[in-house]
Structures are given as structure tokens and as C-alpha cells.
């Protein structure tokens, strides 16, 4: 090929776009930021099964029920709480979150007894509770200095309530992972006696339930309500009286500690002090402040009050672990599989066309497609074993489509005038576009499904098909035309 | 490529569609029988039925492994190249799983372990079924829009359906369970299947020329397409099976079977229907 043809070719936007994307992808993988100690892997993100680590998938033991009733909803909630011995919270005008795994059939008589009816029933938790779980888990993980943790809420297709939480910890074995998730802190309330001296009031086991942050309509302050057991309330009253907090609230702060670190400290309110003087009080509220800062503090305090326990019980429904050495071995194996696939494909097309000027561009285009795919995947999708299977499958379809283009334009011998060429290329492109659309449509459900571990496979396949149809096939059409019309 | 001896123009449409339709019927019977006896068209793997899968590289023999885990619901011990073993257990309760987990940790600390609970497996099953259904409907709509003609579009959809059904029946017969991986492979087959079908239909309906030439031209291109895909998938299968990467090996084996089934369905079933359609509309 003459250098003039090459220059003209590069000036074509299709070819230029391809080159720009390949360079951009290589920069993304290797130079931004540079990661030389990773060698060939650069900045690519690998999944747990290639990196080594553990995962746990847990199901929330909770249901969301929408109801209809003419009576006060407070009675219904109280009835439910009593008969189920579970936390029940109202999440919006007509939905209740019942934090217990209970069937619809078991719920119906309780609702009927309160003069209410179940309208819809879903397993899962409200978005708020789910986010709460996620926050608590990330806090635990971060406290142990693990940055490589992924915590995802999963919502089954067809439901709007998260039902599972999946946690992935790179470089951690199963036993450690379970310990991290299950571990709870020690929560304690103390009261200030004299000076900086404090005295023990009660431990976290006396707290029977913890509410969600709520705003006081009068003072505009945020706070978190919590309930004490009978003995807890009794202990609280005795300590408040003995320390002098009832007589002089401002001189005797109540201090909350989690694992011996102060997480909250404030005096009793005058109102509460007066109540406590006459009788033990079970329902308390800790006020944090106004505005967004107050809300944020209230959310943190809520977690602290639970001492790292999750607001809703979870059951492990799936788990797994891969030792790092095995992950490393898998990496080598899949690299080998990819190379071998490319090689055999090259061999087959050579057998068919016997023409290096066709086969070399075909393989070069396929290779550039893989590079661009990896370059984009680096930002949006970690590569696990399944997504690498997708990658290899894309090599297969990619070459298929290049064969369609080649055969279409070569129809009845050599390439004709550029007009006719474009007509034939258009026809080939039509076939490819329909085929690509069906692949994308067929993979879409899998890509959108939260639950499936095959999301990566579907996403890579769709992405690869799109890069093919938008970038690499058009460029190939131009390149092959320039080569064949010399 | 000697199996290319098949001549698309040699047989009448009736002859062409007979074999694929008979196989589709048999596949229907296999899947129907399995559904009647087990409630599912295919034997579910661990993803869908619940259970535990262990991948480990050890020189211990199959008998040793079976003896080690005899107290647990051991389903099978698969062997790969280079001491790779793939051990499968059925669902068990939490206490038993904890004890199994401890035993695996003690005997084979370098094992990859995956466990799925029984009810969660059921949920996954439902979701996967939903995905396959949606994919198939989506594909049918795209094909219908693309050809705006019931017979050719119907032929493509029938060929894709037949691909999945026959492949699934073969999986059942040779014992490849339905898992997330194999479900994805079946979905992928939809994509591969329509590739060559669309090539065939477009060439025959939208190009001018003699039917025989168009058919054999499409066949020539189609065969090379499927062969390249087959070779990529075969490479993937060989390496992943040898290296004990179960999920890729499963995906690849289903794709391999499916691509061969697709060769038949495209060039006998779909081509047969299309030929009949063109011959009839030509007579008018």
C-alpha cells in the first residue's frame, strides 16, 4: 500500500475513531494512573474469582406489606409487634416493614384481628433499612482497614424492595469474612458523677429497640429514639438519681460509649429529669442537632446504638471463597484460553481466504476491539471468570461479522467501483446490525438482573457487540476497501 | 472443511426440514418427560438447586476424596487435567455446612468453595426463567421488525427456538446441569443462531439472482462464520476444562453443542422453509 493511501485512510473518521479509542484504552489501562508493578494487568479490575477472596450473600429476614384499614394504624402496629415479637415500622402512608420472615398466610389473621387488610406482600426491606445495613457493614469493614470491600444491595427483578445484601472481600478467607460480618461492638451508657468521673449505667443488651432518626417538629432538632428494657429503665433511673443528674441535669452528662470510645455525650433534658424523678422511663431519645449535620449525626448515632448489630436479621444464603493462588492460576488459564481462541480463529480465516491482506486486518481489528472493550470495562465492570467467557464469545461473533462484510463486498470476484462497494457494504452492515440488535436484546435481561452473577458476562457481551457495530466494523469496511482496491 | 460436502440445493424443502423437525420432536419429549418426572425441564445444577461446589488441585484420588466426605451429601467428583478436582455436594443444613466447611479448610486449604442455599437457588431459578423468556420475546420482536414478513421471520424464530430446545435436550441426556452459566450460554445461542439465519434470509430475499446461487453463496459464508465461532469456543472449552474453570467450561460446552445444532437448523430447517416460501411465492 502506498503511504498516500495510508494517510487518506487515517483521515477517514471511522478509522481515526478506532485509532483514537485504541490509544485511549491503552492509556486508560496502563498510564492513567501508571501501575507498572501490576505488569500486563495495568489498571484492569478483576473479580473475586480471579483476585482471591470471599463473598457472602445474605437475605433480609423481613417483609414489606401494604395495607388498608379504617382504624388507627398505631393499633395495628402494636398488635403486630406483640403477636410476632418483631420490630414493625411504618415506612410510608400505607406500607409497613415487618422485620421478621413471616408468610402472608401467617400475617392475614393478625391483620384481620386489627380490622385491617393486606393489599400487597413482598419479601425485603425498605430502601432506608437497606442503606442502613449497607452503612453498618461498610463501617465494620472500614474499621478493619479493608478498602477492597464491595457491598451491594440486590433487588430481585419484579420487586422494588432490596431482598439481599452481598459483600465481597478481596484477600480475606471465609472464616475471617464471617467474623467481620457477625462481629458486634460493646455499647455502654455511663453517667458523669463529679468532674470527669463517670459511672456505669447499663450495657447495650438493655436496649430493646432503636428507632430511625426523626425531627422534632417544635425544636427542629434531629434525634434517635430507643427503648430500654424494664430492668434497663430501672437502672437508668437509679443512676440518674444517685449521680445527681435529676437535680442538676446540666452538670451530669450522659455518655454513650462504643468499644470504650465516646460516641455521644449530652445532659438529660429538664422534662425527662422530671419524669424520671417520679417513675422509670423506657422510651428515650438522644438529640443530635439541627439541619443536615444533625441528621448525619443522628444516622451515625443510630448505628452506634445498635452496636454494629444490623437493624434486621440476615441469613446467609450463599457464600464462597477463592484462595489468591488459585485466582492467579485461573488468570493465567483464561489468558491462555483467549490467546488460543484468537490463534485458532486466525488459522480458520486464513484457511478460508488464503490472503494475508485480508486475514491480517481481520485479526488486527479483532484485537483492537478487545483492547477497546477492556479499556471501557476498566471503568465500569470488573472482570470475573464469566465476563471473560463473554469476552471470548465476542471474539467469535466479531470475526463472524467481519466474514459477512468480506464475503458481501467480494461477491463475484474482486471489489468493484467505490459506489457499488458502498452499496454492498451497506447491505452487509444491515445484516450485522440486525444480528447485533438481537444479541443485545437477548442479553439485556441478564444484564439488568441484580441477582445473577452473570451480569458481567451479559454486560461484556453487549458492550463488545456495541463497540463492534459502532466502531470496529465501519473501520474494517474502510480498511478492507483500501486494501482490496489497490 | 470437508463436512461442507452438504449441498443446500440438492434436496427438496420437505426433505430438508424432516430431520430437524424430528429431532425437535424428540427434544420436546425428552424435556417434557423430565418436566413430568422432576418438575423442571432440565436437571438443575447447584446454582438452582442449592448445594456446595469445591474446586481443588490435589493428588488425592477420587476414592480418597469420596471417603473423606462420605458423611456429607456428596453428589460427584469430577476430574480434570493436572490433578484438578471438582467436588459437588447437595444442599445441607447450616450446622452440617459449617462442619463441612471446617473439614475442607483442614484438608484442602487451597480450595475454591461456593455454596448456594436451597431457597435462594429457587429464587435464582425463577429469575433465570424470566430472563430466558424476556430474551426470547425480545429477539422475536427484533426479527419481526427486521423482516416485516411473517414466514421468514417465523422461520428464524423457529430455528432459534429449536436450537435451544435440542441443545437443552442434549444437555439433559449427557448430564450437563442447568446452571447460571449454562442459562447464559443458551441465551448466547439465541444471538449466534440468528446471526447465520439473518444472513441466509437477507441474501435469499433481498438479493437478485438465481435461488440456487444465493443459497449456496449464503451457505459458503455461513459455514465459515460458524466455523470461526466454533474454533474460538473450542479453544475456550479445551483450556477451561483442562484448567478446571467450571463456569467457562460449562458455557463453552453448551455453546459447542448449540453451534452444531444451529448448523443443522439454519441450513436444513430455516433454509428449507425459506426455499419453499420463495418457490411458492414465485409461482404466483
- Inter-chain residue contact B135 with A334, CB threshold 8 Å: no
Classify A3-47+323-484 by CATH class.
mainly alpha
Nearest to B234 among A49, A156, A344 (CB): A344
Do B125 and B111 reside in the same domain of the chain?
no
> Sheet containing A221-228: which strands, arranged edge to edge?
A207-215, A221-228, A283-290
Domain boundary residue, one of B79, B95, B116: B116
Query: Which residues in B lie closer than 8 A to residue A396 (C-beta atoms)?
Result: 192, 228-229, 232-233
Contact A452 B217 (CB under 8 A): no
Cβ contact A323–B194 (<8 Å): no
Phi/psi for A27 (5° steps) reads -65, -45
- Per-residue pLDDT at B4 exceeds 60: no
The residue out of B69, B85, B116 marking a domain boundary is B116
Cis peptide before A33 (omega within 30 of 0): yes
Contact (CB<8Å) A321/B113: yes
Residues in B closer than 8 angstroms to A445, CB to CB, are: 130-132, 134-135, 138
Do B129 and B176 share a domain, yes or no? yes
The secondary structure element, H or E, covering residue B183 is helix B180-206
Cα separation of B74 and B52, whole Å? Answer: 9
To the nearest 10°, report the CA torsion of B127, B130, B136, B139: -80
Nearest residue of chain A to residue B199 (CA atoms): A431
Q: Do B191 and A451 touch (CB under 8 A)?
A: no
Q: Measured between alpha carbons, how far is residue A269 from residues A248, A276, A285, B3 in Å?
A: 10, 11, 10, 89
Compute φ and ψ for A154, nearest 5 degrees: -120, 130
Predicted pLDDT at B1: 41
> Domain count of chain B?
2
Residues B184 and B97 placed together within one structural domain of the fold: no
Domain at A58-127: CATH architecture: 2-Layer Sandwich (3.30)
Q: Which residue of A has its CA nearest to B246?
A: A385
Best residue in A174, A339, A358, A393 to probe B by mutation, most B CBs within 10 Å?
A393
Q: Which of A170-174, A464-468, B56-60, B231-235 has the lowest mean pLDDT?
A: A170-174
Residues B84 and B199 in one domain: no
Whether residue A1 is predicted with pLDDT greater than 60 in this model: the reply is no
Which cell numbers hold the place of B55? 474446586
* Of the candidate ranges A5-14, B20-29, B262-271, the one whose mean pLDDT is the lowest: A5-14
Chain A residues near residue B232 by CB distance under 8 angstroms: 341-342, 344-345, 392-393, 395-396, 399
In chain A, the percentage of residues whose pLDDT exceeds 70 is 96
Residues B125 and B196 both lie in one domain: yes
Task: Indicate yes or no: CB of A451 within 8 angstroms of CB of B127.
Answer: yes
pLDDT in the model for residue B2: 43
Residue A137: its pLDDT value, please? 85
CATH code of the domain in which B132 resides? 1.20.1640.10
Q: B5 pLDDT exceeds 70? A: no
Q: Which residues of A touch B109 (CB under 8 A)?
A: 323
Query: Could you say which of B116, B138, B168 is where a domain stops?
Result: B116
Q: pLDDT band for position A486 (50/70/90)?
A: low
More confident residue, B88 or A311: B88
Q: Domain extents for chain A? A: 3-47+323-484, 58-127, 187-286
Residue B115: DSSP 8-state = E
Q: B30-74, pLDDT tens digit by residue?
A: 999 999 998 888 889 888 999 999 988 888 888 899 999 988 999
Q: How would you write chain A as a 3-class SS string? A: CCHHHHHHHHHCHHHHHHHHHHHHHHHHHHECCECHHHHHHCCCCECHHHHCEEEEEEEECCEEEEEEECCCHHHHHHHHHHHHCCCEEEEECCEEEECCCCCHHHHHHHHHHCCEEEEEEEECCCHHHHHHHHHHHHHHHHHCCCCCEEEEEECCCCCCCCCEEEEEEECCCHHHHHHHHHCCCCEEEEEECCCCCEEEEEEHHHEEEEEEEEECCCCCEEEEEEEECHHHHHHHHHHHHHHCCCCCHHHCCEEEEECCEEEEEECCCHHHHHHHHHCCCCEEEEEEEEHHHHHHHHHHHHHHHHCCCCCCCEEEEEEEEECHHHHHHHHHHHHHHHHHHHHHHHHHHHHHHCCHHHHHHHHHHHHHHHHHHHHHHHHHCCECHHHHHHHHHHHHHHHHHHHHHHHHHCCCCCCCCHHHHHHHHHHHHHHHHHHHHHHHHHHHHHHHCCCCCCHHHHHHHHHHHHHHHHHHHHHHHHHHHHHHCC
Average pLDDT of the residues in A77-90: 84
- Cβ–Cβ below 8 Å for B112 and A329: no
CB contact under 8 A, A333 and B141: no
Residue pLDDT, tens place only, B172-184: 999 899 988 899 8
Q: Is B231–A341 a contact, with Cβ atoms under 8 angstroms apart? A: yes
Give the confidence band of A8 by pLDDT, cuts at 50, 70, 90.
Answer: confident
Residues B166 and B248 in one domain: yes
Outline where DSSP puts E strands in chain B. 51-57, 74-79, 84-89, 112-116
State the average pLDDT over residues A253-277.
83
Chain B residues whose beta carbon lies within 8 Å of the beta carbon of residue A395: 232
- What pLDDT is recorded for position A415? 62
Whether residue B124 is found in the same domain as residue B219 = yes
Are B199 and A404 within 8 A, CB to CB?
yes
Average pLDDT over residues B184-189: 89
Q: Tell me which of A413-427, B34-48, B142-156, B213-227 is least confident.
A: A413-427
Interface test with A, best of B184, B205, B259 (most A CBs within 10 A): B184
Q: What is the mean pLDDT of chain A?
A: 85
Highest mean pLDDT among A302-306, A391-395, A437-441: A437-441
Range scoring the smallest mean pLDDT among A50-64, A162-176, A203-217, B98-112: A203-217
> CB–CB of B181 and A329 under 8 A?
no
For the segment B65-84, the average pLDDT, to the nearest whole number, is 86
B187 and B279 part of one domain: yes
- CB distance B112–A434 less than 8 Å? no
**Mind telling me how many Å the CA of A417 is from chain B's nearest CA?**
19
Q: Please, what is the average pLDDT of chain B?
A: 89
Q: Which residue has the higher pLDDT, A303 or B161?
A: B161
Please report the pLDDT score of residue B7 as a whole number. 80
Binding-face residues of B in 65-84 toward A, CB within 8 A: none
Query: Residue B234's domain spans which residues?
Result: 2-45+119-283
Per-residue pLDDT, A368: 94
* B 170-209: CB under 8 A from A: 180-181, 183-184, 187-188, 190-192, 194-195, 198-199, 202, 206-207
User: Percentage of chain A surpassing pLDDT 90?
Assistant: 21
Q: Which helix (H) or strand (E) holds B247?
A: helix B246-264
Mean pLDDT value across residues B149-176: 94
Average pLDDT over residues A214-228: 85
Q: Kindly list the residues from chain A whose CB atom is less than 8 angstroms away from the CB atom of residue B240.
A: 333-334, 337, 389
- Which residues in chain A are contacts of B229 at CB distance < 8 A? 396-397, 399-400
For A331-367, what is each residue's pLDDT tens digit? 999 999 999 999 999 998 898 888 888 899 999 999 9
Whether B270 and B195 map to the same domain: the answer is: yes
Mean local confidence (pLDDT), A41-51 = 86
Residue A219 has pLDDT above 80, yes or no: yes
Give the domain CATH number at B63: 3.30.70.980
Interface of B with A in 24-43 (CB under 8 A): none
| B137-162 exposure pattern, b = at least 16 Cβ within 10 A, e = fewer | ebbbebbbebbeeeebbbbbbbbbbb
Same domain, B251 and B211: yes
Amino acid at each position: 500500500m502506498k503511504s498516500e493511501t495510508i494517510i487518506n485512510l487515517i483521515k477517514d473518521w471511522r478509522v481515526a475513531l478506532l485509532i483514537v479509542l485504541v490509544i485511549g484504552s491503552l492509556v486508560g489501562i496502563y498510564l492513567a494512573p501508571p501501575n507498572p508493578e501490576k505488569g500486563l494487568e495495568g489498571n484492569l479490575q478483576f473479580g473475586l474469582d480471579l483476585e482471591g477472596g470471599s463473598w457472602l450473600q445474605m437475605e433480609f429476614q423481613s417483609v414489606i406489606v401494604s395495607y388498608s384499614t379504617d382504624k388507627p394504624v398505631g393499633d395495628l402496629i402494636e398488635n403486630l409487634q406483640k403477636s410476632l415479637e418483631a420490630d414493625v415500622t411504618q415506612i410510608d402512608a400505607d406500607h409497613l416493614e415487618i422485620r421478621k420472615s413471616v408468610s402472608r398466610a401467617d400475617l392475614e389473621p393478625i391483620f384481620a384481628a386489627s380490622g385491617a387488610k393486606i393489599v400487597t406482600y413482598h419479601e425485603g426491606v425498605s430502601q432506608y433499612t437497606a442503606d442502613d445495613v449497607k452503612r453498618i457493614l461498610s463501617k465494620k469493614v472500614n474499621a478493619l482497614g479493608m478498602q477492597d470491600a464491595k457491598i451491594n444491595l440486590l433487588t430481585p427483578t419484579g420487586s422494588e424492595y432490596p431482598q439481599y445484601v452481598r459483600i465481597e472481600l478481596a484477600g480475606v478467607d471465609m472464616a475471617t469474612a464471617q467474623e467481620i460480618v457477625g462481629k458486634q461492638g460493646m455499647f455502654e451508657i455511663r453517667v458523669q458523677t463529679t468532674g470527669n468521673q463517670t459511672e456505669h449505667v447499663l450495657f447495650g443488651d438493655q436496649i430493646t429497640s432503636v428507632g430511625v432518626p426523626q425531627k422534632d417538629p417544635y425544636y427542629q432538632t434531629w434525634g434517635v429514639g430507643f427503648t430500654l428494657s424494664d430492668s434497663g429503665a430501672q437502672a437508668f433511673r437509679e443512676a440518674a438519681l444517685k449521680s445527681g443528674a435529676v437535680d442538676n441535669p446540666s452538670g451530669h452528662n450522659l455518655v454513650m460509649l462504643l468499644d470504650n470510645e465516646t460516641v455521644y455525650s449530652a445532659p438529660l433534658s429538664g422534662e425527662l429529669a422530671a419524669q424520671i424523678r417520679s417513675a422509670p422511663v423506657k422510651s428515650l431519645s438522644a438529640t443530635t442537632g439541627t439541619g443536615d449535620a444533625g441528621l448525619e449525626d443522628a444516622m451515625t448515632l443510630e448505628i452506634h446504638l445498635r452496636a454494629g448489630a444490623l437493624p434486621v436479621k440476615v441469613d446467609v444464603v450463599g457464600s464462597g471463597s477463592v484462595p489468591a493462588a488459585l485466582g492467579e492460576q485461573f488468570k493465567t488459564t483464561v489468558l491462555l484460553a483467549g490467546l488460543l481462541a484468537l490463534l485458532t480463529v486466525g488459522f480458520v480465516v486464513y484457511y478460508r481466504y488464503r490472503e494475508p491482506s485480508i486475514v491480517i486486518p481481520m485479526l488486527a481489528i479483532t484485537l483492537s476491539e478487545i483492547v477497546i472493550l477492556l479499556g471501557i470495562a476498566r471503568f465500569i465492570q470488573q472482570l470475573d471468570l464469566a465476563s471473560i467467557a463473554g469476552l471470548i464469545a465476542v471474539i467469535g461473533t466479531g470475526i463472524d461479522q467481519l466474514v459477512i462484510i468480506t464475503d458481501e463486498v467480494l461477491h463475484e470476484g474482486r471489489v468493484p467501483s467505490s459506489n457499488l462497494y458502498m452499496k454492498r457494504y451497506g447491505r452487509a452492515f444491515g445484516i450485522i446490525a440486525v444480528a447485533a440488535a438481537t444479541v443485545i436484546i437477548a442479553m439485556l435481561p441478564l444484564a439488568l438482573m441484580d441477582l445473577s452473577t452473570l451480569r458481567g458476562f451479559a454486560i461484556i457481551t453487549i458492550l463488545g457487540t456495541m463497540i463492534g457495530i459502532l466502531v470496529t466494523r465501519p473501520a474494517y469496511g474502510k480498511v478492507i476497501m483500501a486494501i482490496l482496491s489497490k | 472443511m470437508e463436512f461442507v460436502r452438504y449441498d443446500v440445493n440438492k434436496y427438496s424443502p420437505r426433505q430438508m426440514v424432516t430431520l430437524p423437525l424430528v429431532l425437535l420432536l424428540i427434544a420436546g419429549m425428552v424435556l417434557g418427560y423430565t418436566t413430568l418426572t422432576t418438575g423442571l425441564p432440565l436437571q438443575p445444577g447447584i446454582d438452582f438447586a442449592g448445594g456446595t461446589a469445591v474446586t481443588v488441585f490435589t493428588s488425592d484420588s477420587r476414592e480418597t476424596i469420596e471417603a473423606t466426605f462420605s458423611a456429607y451429601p456428596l453428589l460427584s467428583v469430577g476430574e480434570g487435567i493436572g490433578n484438578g478436582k471438582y467436588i459437588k455436594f447437595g444442599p445441607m443444613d447450616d450446622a452440617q455446612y459449617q462442619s463441612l466447611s471446617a473439614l475442607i479448610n483442614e484438608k484442602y486449604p487451597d480450595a475454591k468453595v461456593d455454596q448456594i442455599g436451597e431457597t435462594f437457588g429457587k429464587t435464582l431459578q425463577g429469575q433465570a426463567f424470566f430472563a430466558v423468556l424476556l430474551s426470547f420475546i425480545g429477539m422475536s420482536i427484533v426479527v419481526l421488525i427486521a423482516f416485516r414478513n411473517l414466514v421468514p421471520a417465523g422461520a428464524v424464530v423457529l430455528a432459534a427456538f429449536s436450537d435451544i430446545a435440542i441443545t437443552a435436550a442434549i444437555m439433559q441426556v449427557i448430564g450437563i446441569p442447568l446452571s447460571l452459566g449454562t442459562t447464559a450460554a443458551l441465551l448466547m445461542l439465541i444471538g449466534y443462531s440468528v446471526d447465520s439465519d439473518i444472513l441466509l434470509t437477507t441474501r435469499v430475499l433481498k438479493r437478485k439472482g438465481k435461488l440456487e446461487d444465493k443459497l449456496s453463496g449464503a451457505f459458503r459464508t455461513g459455514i465459515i462464520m460458524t466455523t470461526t465461532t466454533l474454533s474460538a469456543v473450542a479453544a475456550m472449552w479445551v483450556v477451561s476444562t483442562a484448567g478446571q474453570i467450571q463456569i467457562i467450561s460449562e458455557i463453552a460446552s453448551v455453546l459447542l453443542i448449540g453451534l452444531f445444532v444451529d448448523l443443522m437448523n439454519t441450513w436444513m430447517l430455516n433454509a428449507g422453509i425459506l426455499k419453499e416460501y420463495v418457490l411458492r411465492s414465485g409461482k404466483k
